[in-house]
Structure 1
Amino acid sequence: MDLRIFTEPQQGATYDDLLRLAVAAEDAGYDAFFRSDHYLVMGESTGPEAGLPGPTDAWTTLAGLARDTTRIRLGTLVTSATFRHPGVLAIQVAQVDQMSGGRVELGLGAGWYEAEHTAYGIPFPGMRERFDRFGEKLAVITGLWSTPVGETFDHHGEHFQLKDSPALPKPEQRRVPIIIGGTGKKRTPELTARYATEFNVPFQPVDAARAQFGRVREACAAAGRDADELTYSAALVLCCGQDEAEVARRAAAIGRAPAELRENGLAGTPDEVVAKIGAYAEAGVTRFYLQVLDIGDLEHVVAVAARVAPQL
């Protein structure tokens, strides 16, 4: 079971805050450090001062971490396809992959948080068009990366047209892992079968995760792809403590109740967290994204690496 740290910097974090956590995660032996790609704080506190000092750009952050870390893999869960032209995103990801020595992974989604688009003047079409654009962007990005050096790439789609692109730069990795996730019952599994190396179910109970994995496997069969080529992963908020007092303290720090976190997240003592991860493993999960909301609590990620990871 791979354990990865997953952060939500739009809630309030500087690059230095993220760097400290990424280095702590690397030193503790985690497989990867991921961040969300959002430009606006979420939750009850959404006034002008919420989320200070303000958002940080995901791919700018990952470029810095590419140079300031050495081993840990880096990625987004997930980049919104509404934010960047596919040609620009392909260049950005390829460059960060080069800067990291081949440690980047691209999580990509259709985009869903309308308020952040309104706040920063980003177009937000309806869901059908967002998914149409999402599928086209996957085709463009993978097409650019797979075009042999010395050849050009063209794409004549409904939303994007590329002609005589040199399709440069190339990533360091032969194939940058692409993560698609969510609970969509038709188009999400179909796009996963066509483009992804990993499928992620975020913030869902075990039974829902198992059912969604089944849909992905059916889509792979329909597309003539071996479903076992994919990595199946899950994401839940983390709140682990050595005893009940520590669990309660960490829950209070993120404004949640221990009972609610035990139901909807990975919460409790190390043994409780291990047992819940085991239930997801039985559903097919081999990789877990631990959503760390209190990014200043470095002891939290160190303790989970020491007390949970060895039991997996």
Structure 2
Amino acid sequence: AMMFTGLTVANVVGVPFGTFLGQSAGWRATFLVVAGLGVLGLAGIAGLVPEQPRPEGVRIRHELAAFRNAQVLLAMAMTVLGFGGVFAAITYITPMMTETAGFADSSVTWLLVLFGLGMVAGNLIGGRFADRRLMPLLYVSLGSLAVVLALFSFTAHNKVAAAVTLTLIGALGFATVPPLQKRVLDQASAAPTLASAVNIGAFNLGNALAAWLGGIVIAAGSGYTAPNWVGAALAGSALVLAVVSSALERRTAATGQAAVEAAAVRQPQQTTTAAR
């Protein structure tokens, strides 16, 4: 959660500033500033991140073997669908807020600040509870996210309700991030480096998939609020996968416990037979 705080704070500061800069000086200026920040980030990594020795005995085939675990794949699918639900709506937030809610173009900046503040709060809350009740946290956050995204199709027609809903989407969306990342790392403990990297890719895949699907429904003439329904469907699908994952985990645990009990029953019988 603390690592992802950098991402959430960047959204609080960077996204609104980029929007303001683009509206004031043109979109090219925003890209130039982003490129400059990228160079600063590269210099910071080169100068401040210490060299890490290569772990002994680690091979790529060992890391790839972790992806044979169905729980790892389910966790990554939850990442794609759950976080994708957020970006189905957020990708088209400017036309939604200006054309539907009636905000001025200049208001998009502070609306994105609200969204970013929600992200920061949700991320920290998610990090606090991920260690305690990971799966219940996912049930609540994904289920609530699906509901709020569906409601956004209606609240987007009112300025105050739209602003509140947008903040909630940021909070609920990022409340899923720490538990999703931890779920992947827990299930792929033998390959934490590769699994963590691939799961970050899953976040980005979800963003791209949701934005594409949102664009399809808008192009079909369903209106600027239609991507909210897409987001709700994606988040709801992630909730279904979370329930399936938990059920499989309980079944595996029960099977393992039954095997242990059966072995415990057989052991005294074998000991008695050997004594005779």
TM-score, structure 2 normalization: 0.24
Q: Which one has a bigger Cα radius of gyration?
A: 2
Structure (1 or 2) with the greater helix fraction: 2
Structure (1 or 2) with the greater strand fraction: 1
TM-score, structure 1 normalization: 0.22
